[in-house]
A = this chain, B = another copy of it.
Amino acid sequence: MDESVWERLDRPEKEPKPGLSVRRIVRAAIELADADGLAAVSMARVAERLGFTTMSLYRHVRGKDELLVLVLDTLAEPPATLWEPFDGWRAGMERWCREHLAVLLRHPWALQIQTAGPPTTPNQLAWMDHALRVLEETPLSPGDRMSVLLLCTGFVVSQARFSIEVSAESEQAYGAVLDELVDGERHPALRRVVDAGTFDLAGAAGAQGYDFTFGLARLLDGVERLVERVGR
């Protein structure tokens, strides 16, 4: 087995040499995606941006799949504020979720990258570890702590995905689309929700994070109920 990708990533710590490096390639890919979306990231374009030929990239990265995993991990760098002390598990998890969401929303295209398995990259593990550390403040069993973590990540990712999709709805707002599409005969309950003006304020200031705050409160309430039951 040859050297891990992760070691290759961090190798040239100091004294930046000329020429390619894994880190430089990853940076270029990120810049490209930030500018023109994930579809703009092709091996050819990344190489061009760096002033090298397409094939040169393959000396540093096994293939495009690996490059994208590296990109994902690079973006998943936990912010420094995450490590600040927290006041009780609930506040800790709430901050964890919010920080996580912020990271996901900073590069919306990142959620389109297909991952072939569950999280295993260094920074992903760091996020997991931090959440589990917070959850050690609860009396929950290790298995349940893991389940809560899974629940929270899933929630954050789903919210991020949804909010990105909604803002990507190119021409019309989601509310307008639904208003046009939803037939009161076939979908009465949905019709009533649309008619209630639920979507009218979507995108307006304040409404931005409403769903997130709402969902997070419900989620942590549910966990809290369990904590209380187990706790004593």
Contacts and interface: CB of A to CB of B under 8 A. Distances in A.
Contact of A129 (B147, B169, B188): B188
Residue of A154, A187, A225 contacting most chain B CB atoms (<10 Å) = A154
Give the interface centre of A114, A133, A144, A147 by most chain B CB atoms within 10 Å. Answer: A147
Contacts of A187: 125-126, 128-129
Contacts of A89: none
Contacts of A126: 186-187
Given A144-B214, A198-B146, A218-B223, A132 B193 contact: yes
Nearest to A181: B120
Main secondary structure of the interface of A (DSSP, over half): helix
A125 B188 CA distance: 11
Contact of A132 (B146, B190, B211, B222): B190
Contacts of A223: 218, 222
A136 B222 contact: no
Contacts of A219: 151, 218-219, 222
B120 A218 contact: no
Interface residues of A, number: 66
A100 interface: no
Given A125-B181, A125-B182, A132-B189, A150 B162 contact: yes
A205 interface: no
A219 B190 CA distance: 22
Contacts of A190: 125, 128-129, 132
Nearest to A158: B154
Interface string A100-119: 00000000000010111110
Contacts of A125: 181-182, 186-187, 190
